[in-house]
């Protein structure tokens, strides 16, 4: 059986691609090249190394993904903050990257008795990651959201340094209300979702208002953390 593909859009023009075709599109996208040219024209030319990363999070209902580009000299902490801002932050939980078996944590633990030798997130991407490297990330060590990341490519640009740029992102999950079957789902009930039985957990606005667990409803948003802890987008 062919794996299901989850569509997404190029951030420069809004065309839709799937997870297989987006990488090739990004390397040839005319709008992206136009954007790049503008950045270079206005700034003093100086070589800047950039990394292209793919980030993926598998949720209960959907696969969420991002293609981003950022300076290879950015720190893991910079990447951590970006992931929190776009996808994850609910109540300031701990987080950690795992690269080649080494954990890089926001709150590193070193304990030789337990053989724990975590590092902090000061490391720069180009010092710990090469093109092709795959690595993991966890946000919240209780109700954990796990992400997998890959360095898709690297390039030199004569543009000025900037922050982290989103190149492409999955389109929002499209689900109908599981109660009425008509309207788009806007809310997710964490009680019904993790209640152990197969039961409706996605509701439209109208059905959400009538739902018995009104204190367990969270907005159904475009993030692998939707329906977890207190995440509201």
Task: Give the binding site for Zn ion (CB under 5 A).
Answer: 10, 12-13, 29, 90-91, 177, 179-180, 183, 189, 191-192, 204, 207, 213, 229-230
Nearer to Zn ion, 87 or 135 (CB): 87
Give CA angle at 75 (73, 77), nearest 5°.
165
**C-beta separation of 169 from 65 below 8 A:** yes
Nearer to Zn ion, 12 or 87 (CB): 12
Residue 73, helix vs strand vs coil: coil
Count the Cβ atoms, other than its own, within 10 Å of residue 41.
9
Q: Chain-centre distance of CA 231, in angstroms? A: 14
Nearer to Zn ion, 123 or 222 (CB): 222
Q: Would you say how long the chain is, in residues?
A: 233
Q: How far is the CB of 220 from Zn ion (least distance, A)?
A: 12
Q: How far is the CB of 100 from Zn ion (least distance, A)?
A: 29
Q: How far is the CB of 169 from Zn ion (least distance, A)?
A: 12
Nearer to Zn ion, 68 or 189 (CB): 189
Nearer to Zn ion, 26 or 125 (CB): 26
CA separation for the pair 205, 191 (Å, rounded): 17
Q: How far is the CB of 191 from Zn ion (least distance, A)?
A: 4
Contacts of 121 (CB under 8 A, 6+ apart): 75, 76, 77, 80, 97, 104, 105, 106
Please name which of 182, 172, 170, 159 lies closest in space to residue 32, comparing C-alpha atoms: 159
Contacts of 40 (CB under 8 A, 6+ apart): 157, 158, 159
Q: How far is the CB of 117 from Zn ion (least distance, A)?
A: 27
């Amino acid at each position: 059986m062919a794996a299901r593909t989850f569509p997404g859009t190029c951030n420069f023009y809004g065309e839709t691609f799937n997870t297989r075709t987006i990488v090739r599109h990004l390397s040839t996208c005319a709008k992206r090249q136009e954007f790049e040219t503008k950045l270079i024209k206005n700034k003093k030319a100086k070589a800047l190394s950039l990394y292209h990363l793919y980030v993926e999070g598998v949720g209960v209902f959907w696969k969420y993904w991002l293609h981003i580009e950022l300076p290879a000299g950015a720190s893991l902490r910079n990447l951590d903050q970006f992931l929190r801002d776009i996808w994850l932050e609910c109540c300031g939980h701990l987080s950690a990257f795992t690269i080649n078996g080494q954990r890089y944590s926001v709150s590193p633990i070193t304990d030789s008795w337990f053989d724990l030798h975590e590092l902090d997130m000061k490391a720069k991407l180009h010092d710990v990651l090469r093109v092709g490297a795959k690595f993991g990330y966890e946000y919240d060590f209780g109700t954990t959201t796990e992400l997998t990341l890959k360095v898709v490519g690297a390039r030199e640009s004569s543009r000025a340094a900037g922050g982290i740029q989103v190149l492409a992102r999955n389109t929002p999950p499209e689900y109908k209300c599981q109660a009425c079957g008509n309207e788009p789902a806007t809310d997710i009930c964490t009680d019904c979702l993790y209640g152990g039985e197969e039961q409706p957990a996605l509701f439209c606005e109208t059905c959400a208002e009538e739902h018995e667990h009104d204190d367990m409803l969270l907005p159904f948003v475009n993030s692998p953390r939707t329906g977890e802890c207190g995440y509201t987008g």
